[in-house]
């Protein structure tokens, strides 16, 4: 959301793109939100919540760090998942610095193997964040992890962190800032992301679907914004569609007498109002689009290029 021209940098100014990569549910989005001090990326306890590249911009006195939150790297099955993983891998190739994340408490060896291969091919400086150290019952396990990962000699630095609590996150930022190339700011000083408000609103609604429904519903759902109307002195009117693949899923999302859909809408509206700093009228519809996640044309219409 560009509001003005980038400020003139000092001679020592650094800037660049930092791709955050790791297995699903490793805490990438939680870390980005912690770094920015704003909720930009949606989160849930379910894996593969992030489907799109999310860009977040951190402004520092001598640097501009442009973070790219990528979808989780995993062995992809199905057209949608393959596109999601392709998006993550493409982001690695475009970055100046790579921030790899692993879960100290619940490692995913298969995803880590895929990630390590991609990191080794990249030729970029790599920092490893060992996340969720607050969940380790035996702290000597952390020393074992550090020893094992440092032996790979792939990383410029290893930083144990807790993205949820903020532990060691300032240190992680300092390390990444030092690895960025010299250069001017890439975005205006008041920019937080390059994503539109419509996109962020759709992501908020999708987050509530992920959090408030179970079983297969989150992975069979997508959200589009049908209308976004802003008028002076009035609530912002937003009409959105939740797309599912089967009629039975539609019934679950709507719930008995519409109760589940109201719950999703109320939770989404509160977060959207915080994002937009305005009162919001939100209307949700549920639409059945059969097997959309396996249809290339449907994926394109729903924003999965």
DSSP track, 201-227:
HHHHHHHHHHHH--TTTGGG-EEEEEE
As a residue count, the chain comes to 305
The predicted model gives 271-283 an average pLDDT of: 93
* Mean pLDDT, residues 192-217: 88
To the nearest 10 degrees (0 to 180), the angle between helices 259-276 and 247-254 is: 70
Instruction: Give the pTM.
Output: 0.80
Residue 220 or 86, more confident: 220
Mean pLDDT of 281-292: 93
Per the rule left: phi > 0, alpha: psi between -120 and 50, beta: everything else, 40 is: alpha
Residues in CB range of 140: below 8 A, 6 or more apart = none
Residue 3 has pLDDT above 50, yes or no: no
**pLDDT band at residue 1 using 50, 70 and 90 as cut-offs:** very low
- The chain-wide mean pLDDT, for the chain, equals 86
- Please report which confidence band the pLDDT of residue 7 belongs to, taking 50, 70 and 90 as the band edges: very low
CA atoms 94, 34, 46, 1: torsion sign: negative
Partners of 66 in the beta sheet? 17, 57
Containing 15, the helix (H) or strand (E) segment is strand 14-22
What is the token pair recorded at 23? 């297995």
Map out the domains of the chain with their CATH numbers.
14-179 (3.40.50.300), 197-301 (3.30.300.20)
Rounded CA-CA distance 182/248 in Å is 55
- Per-residue pLDDT, averaged over 46-63, amounts to 80
Q: Which phi-psi region, left, alpha or beta, contains residue 48 (left: φ > 0; alpha: ψ -120 to 50)?
A: left
pLDDT at 76 over 60: no
Least confident of 43-47, 173-177, 294-298: 43-47
First vs last C-alpha separation in the chain: 21
Residue 141 has pLDDT above 60, yes or no: yes
The predicted-structure confidence for 113-135, as pLDDT tens digits, reads as follows 888 888 888 888 999 999 999 99
Label residue 150 by pLDDT band (50, 70, 90): confident
Q: Which of 231, 260, 99 is nearest to 176 (CA)?
A: 99
């Amino acid at each position: 959301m560009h509001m003005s021209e980038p400020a003139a940098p000092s001679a020592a100014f650094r800037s660049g793109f930092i791709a955050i990569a790791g297995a699903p549910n490793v805490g990438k989005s939680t870390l980005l939100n912690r770094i920015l001090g704003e909720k930009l990326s949606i989160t849930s306890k379910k894996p593969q919540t992030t489907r799109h590249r999310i860009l977040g911009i951190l402004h520092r006195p001598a640097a501009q760090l442009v973070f790219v939150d990528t979808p989780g790297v995993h062995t992809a099955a199905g057209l949608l998942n393959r596109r999601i993983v392709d998006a993550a891998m493409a982001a690695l190739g475009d970055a100046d610095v790579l921030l790899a994340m692993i879960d100290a408490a619940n490692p995913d060896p298969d995803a880590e193997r895929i990630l390590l291969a991609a990191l080794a091919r990249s030729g970029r400086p790599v920092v490893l964040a060992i996340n969720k150290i607050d969940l380790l019952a035996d702290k000597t396990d952390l020393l074992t992890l550090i020893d094992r990962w440092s032996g790979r000699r792939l990383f410029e630095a290893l930083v144990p962190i807790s993205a949820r609590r903020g532990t060691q996150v300032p240190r992680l930022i300092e390390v990444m800032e030092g690895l960025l190339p010299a250069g001017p700011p890439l975005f205006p000083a008041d920019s937080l992301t390059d994503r539109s408000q419509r996109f962020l609103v759709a992501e908020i609604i999708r987050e509530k679907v992920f959090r408030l429904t179970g079983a297969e519903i989150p992975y069979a759902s997508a959200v589009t914004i049908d209308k976004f109307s802003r008028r002076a002195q009035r609530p912002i009117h937003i009409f959105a569609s939740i797309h599912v693949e089967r009629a039975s899923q539609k019934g679950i999302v709507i719930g008995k007498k519409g109760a589940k859909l109201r719950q999703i809408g109320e939770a989404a509206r509160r977060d959207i109002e915080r994002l937009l700093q305005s009162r919001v009228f939100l209307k949700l519809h549920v639409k059945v689009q059969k097997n959309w996640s396996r249809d290339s044309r449907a994926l394109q219409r729903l924003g999965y290029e």
